[in-house]
Chain A
Amino acid sequence: MTTNLADIPSNAADPAHRTPSARASRTTRTTGLRTPRRRPHTPLSPRRSVPLTLLTGLALVYALLPLIWLVINATKDEKGLLDSFGLWFGEDFTLWGNITRTLTYDDGVFVRWLLNTLLYVAAGAGGATLLAVLGGYALAKFSFPGRRAVFAVVIGAAAVPGTALAVPTFLMFSNLGLTNTPWAVIIPSLISPFGLYLMWVFASEAVPAELLEAARIDGSGELRTFFRIALPLLMPGIVTVLIFSMVATWNNYFLPLIMIKDPDWYPLTLGLNAWNSQAQTAGGDAVFDLIITGSLLTIVPIVVIFLLLQRYWQSGLAAGSVKE
């Protein structure tokens, strides 16, 4: 993303420089969080509309249809896949058998891929969130020399397509002896420019400077202040960054594709792709039912996390949403 950084500091210290909407949003917020308010009954939020619901329902069908297809076809065996209608169940319901076969095929390699994925997500997304929170807090709450330069460089570099860095990163890591190890996937996942930006906006809004000042006057150390005072206030923002990093690392394909050659270190995405290559080659074991069931097993955990946490990050994203 390319951005004009010229006026980062200009309105920082001077309230007169606040943009109108910043002022407007102040009136509706006490902190950076907006709790969803009940809409007043104005002429603008009138009766619910059936036609509009049906029309939006088209988008809903589009979004869910492939997932429904996946669930239905995970219940079929090879024969059922070939001779039954795609959007209805086949003669035999073999979902449990399919899951067992998926988990045990090739000495349980799928389970190994699942554990690898969990490792990459825990270390990569966890680390990325930690770094983004610390960095965003520093940019928002400390004036240190080089603060603006850090920000400019990070945002400028974020405009560089990630894949443009892939080849040189691979060569660098291979000189360092890191390729084909989990480190090659985890280390690049640690940096999320978007996460840093979100945390910076969020920390600016949600942690009042007066509160930190009061804590300092009371003699609380900087780290203690951060953990006891800032961290709880930052929670919605942290959950937002964590979700986005988790989805990104869980779904990562390009990075492990170039870094990992050893199937023992594959994440799920590479594993499924390898099964697909095998099924498409003549003479390979046609494991289409396993690919479909494996795909379903791959998305279930991330979808569950998503649905459980979505309540939290709605507010985080609203605060971090683009402000005029």
Chain B
Amino acid sequence: MTLLQTPAKAVAPPRPRASLRLRREALMGWGFAGPFVAVFGLVFLAPIGYALYLSLFRDRLIGGNSFVGLANYRQALTDPQFWEGLARVGLFLAVQVPVMLGIALLVALAIDSGRLYGTSFFRVAIFLPYAVPAVVASLMWGFIYGTRFGLVGNINDALGLTLPDPLSPSLVLASIGNIVTWEFVGYNMLIFYSALKVVPRSLYEAASIDGAGEWRIITAVKLPAIRGALVIATIFSIIGSFQLFNEPSILQKLAPNAITSDFTPNLYTYSLSFAGQQHNYAATVAIVMGVITAVIAYTVQLRGMRKA
């Protein structure tokens, strides 16, 4: 399957029509789609074009703006700060995304099974964190992690322990992973749950008549049926991981030693541009990052959609 199949009957079957009618339809179609396309051009296409332009120039104090060809790209590809940030989000992705999607899938299967008491309460409550802004989520968890008036500090005092500090340099990535998981586990659960809801129940009945047990039905019927949703959620999560910015940016105030200004590629781009005024180089790093993200997302899409 492809992610974007035209649903059946999207367009009426072609019939011989007067050319006048065709022209009218074209006009109406563009009339409805026009506003979106116009704004899209302004906020998507123009910036992409402008970023490409910026990446080919350099602004020097002496000599002003000059064309430098691919020099910015060479610099980016040999920039240790960029690669460290990329490796960090790569590690983050490898651990956090499977954990988050795994929990989301288990919860979605549990809710869909109809064996829970209070199904709809579960569904809404677990989705609730998605409505919480990243800023609030990070501040909240940041305080909870804190040793001053956080839960970690409370537990230490109460039990006389010294728990490892979640905001220390060695643990801060895992702590960020926990915040992101908390924010998005419910969102992914809902994607899976919505996909499970439209699987025809007759398939389960047929499978159970054939003697399949509960687990067999999950692995042989349910998971293949929601394959598309699994792939989409994976792609969204990958793009999200590569763009990691909000949580580390806010936690930076609480853990200035652990989170450096080049902690993730996005933080690096941000500090290059807005603290260092290196707009050309920042645009280049952003483009390289965008290309890497798109290539990986596309690979996942192709592999995921191949029939097993």
Interface set of A (CB-CB < 8 Å, partner B): 1-9, 11-15, 18-19, 21-22, 24-28, 34, 36, 39-40, 42-50, 52-53, 55-56, 59-60, 62-64, 66-67, 69-70, 73, 81-82, 85-87, 130-132, 134-135, 137-147, 150-151, 153-155, 157, 159-172, 187-188, 190-191, 196-197, 201, 204-205, 208-209, 213, 222, 226, 247, 250-251, 253-254, 257-258, 268-270, 272-273, 276-277, 280, 288, 291-292, 295, 298-299, 302-303, 306-307, 310, 314, 317-318, 321-324
Q: Could you say which of B148, B254, B266 contacts A82, with CB atoms under 8 Å apart?
A: B148
For A1, what are the chain B residues with a Cβ–Cβ distance below 8 Å?
Answer: 3, 232, 235-236, 239, 297, 301
Q: Which of B67-75, B80-88, B159-167, B193-201 contacts A (4 or more CB under 8 A)?
A: B193-201
| B7-A168 in contact (CB<8A) | no
User: For residue A34, which residues in chain B have a CB less than 8 angstroms away from its CB?
Assistant: 197-198
Q: Is the CB of B4 within 8 A of A8?
A: yes
A-B contact pairs, 12 of them (CB 8 A): A4-B305, A19-B1, A39-B201, A55-B110, A67-B128, A159-B239, A187-B42, A190-B39, A272-B135, A295-B136, A321-B195, A322-B228
The 6 A-B pairs with the shortest beta carbon distances in the complex, nearest first, are A144-B29, A142-B29, A138-B32, A135-B36, A251-B133, A322-B228
Chain B interface, DSSP helix/strand/loop, else mixed: helix
Q: A1-B232, A56-B116, A69-B144 are in contact. Are A25 and B44 (CB under 8 A)?
A: no
Q: Which of B120-137 contact A (CB under 8 A)?
A: 122, 124-137
Inter-chain contacts of B227 with A (CB < 8 A)? 324
Identity of the chain B residue whose Cβ is nearest the Cβ of A208 in the assembled complex? B9
A205 cross-chain contacts in B, Cβ below 8 A: 7
If A209-B12, A250-B133 touch, whether A160 touches B197 (CB-CB below 8 Å) is: no
Q: Given the known inter-chain contacts A44-B217, A52-B113, A62-B182, please indicate yes or no for A168 contacting B47, CB distance below 8 A.
A: yes
Cβ contacts under 8 Å, A253 to chain B: 133-135, 246
B33 contacts chain A at the CB level, 8 A cutoff: yes
A196 nearest CB neighbor, chain B only: B36
Q: Which residues of A contact B260 (CB under 8 A)?
A: none
A40 to B140, CA, bound (A): 44
Given pairs A166-B286, A187-B42, A191-B44, 13 additional interface contacts (CB within 8 A): A8-B6, A12-B11, A13-B13, A39-B114, A59-B185, A63-B126, A85-B158, A138-B30, A143-B25, A144-B26, A161-B286, A295-B136, A322-B195
A254 to B274, CA, bound (A): 13
Whether a CB of chain A sits under 8 angstroms from the CB of B250 is yes
List residues 58-113 of chain B with CB under 8 A from any CB of chain A: 103, 106-107, 110-111, 113
- Residue B172 at the A interface, CB < 8 A? no
Q: State in angstroms the CA–CA spacing of A47 and B115 once bound together.
A: 6
**With A168-B283, A323-B228 as contacts: A60 and B149 at CB distance below 8 Å:** no
**Please, how many angstroms separate the alpha-carbon atoms of A109 and B133 in the complex?**
19
User: Does chain A have a CB within 8 A of B225?
Assistant: yes
| Closest A residue, CB atoms, query B281 | A167
Q: With A135-B36, A142-B25 as given contacts, are A324 and B204 in contact (CB-CB < 8 Å)?
A: no
Given that A134-B36, A142-B28 are contacting pairs, would A303 and B111 also be in contact in the complex, using a CB cutoff of 8 Å? no
B50 contacts partner chain A, Cβ-Cβ < 8 Å: yes
Are B4 and A167 in contact (CB-based, < 8 A)? no
Is B18 part of the contact surface with A, judged by Cβ < 8 Å?
Answer: no
Which residues of the partner chain A approach B151 to less than 8 Å between Cβ atoms?
A: 69, 86-87
Chain A contact surface mostly = helix
Residue of B nearest to A298 (CB): B136
Contact B250 A276, beta carbon cutoff 8 Å? yes
A254 and B246 contact, CB distance less than 8 A: yes
Q: Are A280 and B254 in contact (CB under 8 A)?
A: yes
Select which of B35, B116, B305 is within 8 A of A53 by beta carbon. B116
Query: Which of B37, B141, B229 is A321 in contact with, Cβ under 8 Å?
Result: B229
B265-308 CB contacts (< 8 Å) to partner A: 266, 269-270, 273-274, 279, 282-283, 286-287, 289-290, 293-294, 297-298, 301, 305
B124/A168 in contact, CB under 8 A: no
CB distance from A237 to the nearest CB of B (A): 12
CB of B20 within 8 A of chain A? Answer: no
Asked if A269 and B243 sit within 8 Å, CB to CB, the answer is no
Q: How far is the CB of A56 from chain B (nearest CB, A)?
A: 5
- A76 to B, closest residue via Cβ: B149
Residues of B within 8 Å of A11, CB to CB, are: 5-6, 8
Instruction: Check if B139 is an interface residue, CB within 8 A of chain A.
Output: yes
A322 with B185, Cβ < 8 A, contacts A34-B197, A191-B43 known = no
- Contact between B1 and A324, CB atoms less than 8 A apart: yes
Question: Is A321 a contact of B191 with CB atoms below 8 Å?
Answer: yes
User: Would you call A154 and B40 a contact (CB within 8 A)?
Assistant: yes
Residues of A within 8 A of B220 (CB): none
- Chain A residues, CB < 8 A from B243: 161-163
Among B39, B131, B185, B200, which residue has its beta carbon within 8 angstroms of that of A303?
A: B131
CB of B25 to closest CB in A, whole Å: 5
B253 and A280 contacting across the interface, CB-CB below 8 Å: yes
Contact: B201 with A40, CB < 8 Å?
Answer: yes
Roughly how many angstroms separate A172 CA and B279 CA in the complex, as a whole number?
12
Specify the chain B residue showing the minimal Cβ separation from A194: B236
Q: How far is the CA of A321 from the CA of B273 in the complex (A)?
A: 38
